[in-house]
Homo-oligomer: A and B are copies of this chain.
């Protein structure tokens, strides 16, 4: 047994099942160890190849959100890891547990400063707070266990283990003993529960702002019962990691992206309980717009932040409120489908919400085109939504890949745009390679529409350079051609009827399918 086999064996014993990989020379012992570990037992670690490292890290994020446990990534030295950073930023914001395995030059070769050498720890420190550089081959199982323990401690985090090539190859006879050490969540703060109960009781127009684990599962269920009992409106954070939505589920209205709209909405309530996330701030700071919407208000209670056990805190809050006091809810209304054949974000959103199957996982990463969908999805069949948590554009197609690996029996829908999808088009190839059940809808408006909106809001008439640097119309990206070239069938649609039929075709495919909705 060499060091790499020790580490991969430990990973398998600890229940890791998937490795999203883009290996290089310094990672080949790990690649070979995946085969060795696979040969003996019947439950090896599945390797999924990405043609770009951001595919691997985005997939690991999507996998973690759905599986509730980490995937491994396998990345090549500093530059390979650098390519995967942006989606690790999103994973960090999502509190997704991810274990990055990074190969490094042989220990004795570091000082040679060979071309690919760099200070990897600067990068791992940016992407997460736990990094270790392995020092002995015999420690590699222990190092992996420690990395995994750190990754799943608390709400979850991104961790990185740097393993020099010589340690991977070195024979190991006596492995260092290892154990999984996991730090749990802090106990629910009774004082804040009590304060939240009194705040809700005193309010006439209460709201609860939910984030993190309060947006699905037991957290959302408790929030729904609290809404029924108090009449509180449920609001959701802008950049959510995972949300359950659809008919029969508590209705959550996502906070608007633009700050004055968010601030206006929140000003409407005389009590706001925040659970599962921090107090809301604007996505960007504008000198003439609000930025910290709840700051200075006396009628808010921060029940649980993103690092705390929001579902338990919401359960405790339920217990603190008098039973049976059902309140008239002010439910969030789903809009009516406006009809019409011409495609725009509203029609696309309405059609998608109507066609998506039960239990779908909808990755919502279109930037300017996604808002209407969120409203129509309130009336869709029950499903899960995953969104962009860190604002690093270019994750959707990779996140969908990872979600499909985590939940092979569910249909994954990537609701993406042309501008944001273009950063990560390589993910389509991995989807085709493993036959991932991902149906992609590209909202193709041929521009970075969000930047145009920012210009319009600032009252600036764009000059020719500004128009050039925000448009994607010259040449027009042919998404169907891109998909086909990477093994994913698809079609372009120009109106509602075609979109409806295309969705039905795509959702019936056994593997990936791409629909370019042009408008």
* Chain A interface (Cβ < 8 Å from any Cβ of B): 21, 23-26, 28, 31-32, 34-36, 38-39, 44, 47, 49, 51-52, 54, 78-80, 82-83, 85-86, 89, 93, 105-106, 108-109, 112-116, 118-119, 122-123, 125-126, 165-166, 169, 238-239, 278, 281-287, 291-292, 389-394, 419, 422-423, 425-426, 429, 432-433, 450-451, 454-455, 458, 460, 462-466, 468-470, 472, 474-482, 484-487
Report the copy number of this chain in the oligomer.
Answer: 2
Asked if A475 contacts B465 (CB within 8 A), the reply is: no
Q: Please judge, given known A-B contacts A79-B85, A122-B126, A466-B34, whether A23 and B451 are in contact too, CB under 8 Å.
A: yes
CA distance A292 to B114 in the complex (A): 10
CB–CB B118/A126 < 8 A: yes
B468 and A115 contacting across the interface, CB-CB below 8 Å: no
A83 touching B451 in the complex, CB below 8 Å, given contacts A458-B28, A469-B47: no
Contact between chains at A469 and B391 (CB < 8 Å):
no
Q: Which of B80, B93, B287, B394 contacts A83 (CB under 8 A)?
A: B394
Given pairs A28-B460, A425-B426, 12 additional interface contacts (CB within 8 A): A21-B469, A23-B469, A25-B284, A32-B466, A34-B463, A35-B462, A112-B285, A115-B389, A423-B426, A425-B425, A433-B474, A481-B485
Nearest chain-B residue to A170 (Cβ)? B287
Q: Establish whether residues A485 and B482, one from each chain, have CB atoms under 8 Å apart when the complex forms.
A: yes
- A459 to B: closest C-beta gap in Å: 11
Other-chain contact of A466, B31, B284, B419, B466 (Cβ < 8 Å): B31
CB–CB B391/A116 < 8 A: yes
List B contacts of A429 (CB < 8 A): 422, 475, 477
Q: Are A51 and B423 in contact (CB under 8 A)?
A: yes
In the complex, the answer to whether A465 meets B291 with C-beta atoms within 8 Å is no
Once the chains are docked, how many angstroms separate the CA of A370 from the CA of B253? 56
CB atoms of A86 and B82 under 8 A apart: yes
Establish whether residues A105 and B284, one from each chain, have CB atoms under 8 Å apart when the complex forms: yes
Q: Which residues of B contact A78 (CB under 8 A)?
A: 89, 126
CB distance from A173 to the nearest CB of B (A): 18
Query: A49 → chain B, closest Cβ, in Å?
Result: 5
Chain B neighbourhood of A119, CB < 8 A: 126
Q: Across the interface, which residues of B come within 8 angstroms of A394, CB to CB?
A: 52, 83
Q: Which of B26, B292, B476 contacts A112 (CB 8 A)?
A: B292
A291–B485 alpha-carbon span in the complex (Å)? 41
Report B-chain residues with C-beta under 8 Å of the C-beta of A390.
Answer: 79, 115-116
Query: Can you offer 24 A-B residue contacts whose CB atoms are under 8 A?
Result: A26-B284, A32-B462, A34-B465, A35-B465, A82-B85, A82-B86, A83-B83, A85-B123, A105-B284, A106-B286, A109-B281, A112-B281, A112-B292, A113-B278, A114-B281, A114-B283, A115-B390, A122-B122, A165-B284, A165-B285, A166-B287, A423-B426, A481-B484, A485-B485
Closest-CB distance, A115 to chain B (whole angstroms): 4
The 4 closest A-B pairs by CB, nearest first: A475-B487, A109-B285, A35-B463, A481-B485
Q: Which residues of B contact A464 (CB under 8 A)?
A: 35, 38
What is the CA–CA distance of A105 and B291 in the complex, to the nearest angstrom?
12
A118 and B31 alpha carbons, distance in the complex (Å)? 32
A285: B residues at CB distance < 8 A: 105-106, 108-109, 112, 114, 165-166
Which B residues touch A86, using CB under 8 A? 79-80, 82-83
Residues from chain B with a CB closer than 8 A to the CB of A393 are 24
Given contacts A35-B463, A79-B391, A389-B115, contact A475 B282 (CB under 8 A): no
Contact between B106 and A31 (Cβ–Cβ < 8 Å)?
no
